[in-house]
């Protein structure tokens, strides 16, 4: 299934706790937003006026515009509008609003945040990985380009955040643990279209702009 084929209405349903999508998003959420669906960059200025899950998307977006304003921070301090369990920043929020055809009146609740997380997984090549058509390290690298708490699994950045030291970012889990989580997800197809050197035959597309581009230290 392609990312652009996703039906937002279907996405806004509870994830099956036994599904690999639930397992992967739970892991990502534990690294990105350990405070849950109401989590946000704790040094944000201003802070959200009330819990994020009680706010409409347009209200969250209005708060993000303030939180991403460098004028609200002292020189040299990190700036971030990261919001929710998956730490979605303002640029990615705009992308998701368009991609999921949101009106802005929807609640930024757990179901909608999970829908957004699923869409970002899809853009990173989830269906290809789930079907065994993309190598684990390659898919892990695609996710690391989306979420800064995840380490790259190959290349010169292996073991570090793709955005290491950018605005204070760092990986919060080791490459071996991250690889093990991906390889151990339930219901995955066996790799069957991977070249002998381990490179996938199809490149999974990563998300641009990345959600963590403006995030602060973790």
Cα→Cα distances 160→67, 152, 181, 188, Å: 27, 6, 16, 26
> Whole-angstrom distance between the N-terminal and C-terminal Cα of the chain?
33
pLDDT over 80 at 166, yes or no? no
> Which pTM was predicted?
0.84
More confident residue, 150 or 209: 150
Give residue 198's pLDDT band: very low, low, confident or very high (50, 70, 90).
very low
Round to whole Å and give the CA distance between 74 and 79. 10
Give me the chain's average pLDDT, please: 85
Instruction: Map the chain to HEC letters.
Output: CCHHHCCHHHHCCCCCCCCHHHHHHHHHHHHHCCCCCCCECCCCCCCCCCCHHHCEHHHHHHHHHHHCCHHHCCCCCCCCCCECCCCECHHHHHHHHHHCCCCCCCECCHHHHHHHHHHHHHHCCHHHHHCCCCCHHHHHHHHHHHCCCCEECCCCCECCECCCCHHHCCCCCCHHHHHHHHHCCCCCCCCCCECCCCCECCCCCCCCCCCCCCCCCC
Closest to 24 (Cα-Cα) out of 132, 147, 108: 147
- Length of the chain measured in residues: 218
**Confidence at residue 7, expressed as pLDDT on a 0 to 100 scale:** 56
Q: Among 17-26, 27-36, 184-193, which stretch is predicted with the lowest mean pLDDT?
A: 184-193
């Amino acid at each position: 299934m392609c990312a652009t084929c996703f039906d937002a209405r279907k996405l806004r349903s509870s994830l099956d706790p036994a599904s690999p999508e639930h397992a992967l998003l739970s892991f990502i959420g534990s690294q990105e937003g350990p405070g849950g669906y109401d989590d946000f960059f704790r040094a944000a200025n201003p802070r959200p006026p009330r819990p994020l899950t009680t706010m409409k998307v347009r209200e969250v977006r209005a708060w993000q515009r303030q939180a991403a304003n460098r004028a609200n921070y002292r020189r040299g301090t990190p700036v971030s509008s990261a919001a929710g369990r998956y730490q979605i920043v303002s640029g990615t929020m705009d992308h998701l609003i368009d991609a999921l055809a949101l009106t802005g009146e929807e609640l930024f609740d757990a179901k909608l945040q999970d829908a957004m997380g699923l869409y970002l997984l899809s853009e990173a090549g989830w269906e290809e990985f789930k079907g065994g058509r993309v190598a684990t390290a390659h898919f892990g690298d695609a996710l690391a380009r989306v979420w800064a708490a995840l380490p790259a699994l190959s290349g010169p950045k292996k073991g570090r955040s793709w955005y290491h030291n950018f605005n204070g970012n760092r990986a919060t889990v080791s490459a071996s643990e991250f690889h093990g989580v991906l390889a151990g997800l339930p219901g995955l197809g066996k790799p069957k279209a991977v070249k002998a050197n381990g490179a996938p035959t199809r490149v999974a597309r990563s998300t641009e702009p990345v959600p963590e581009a403006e995030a602060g230290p973790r």
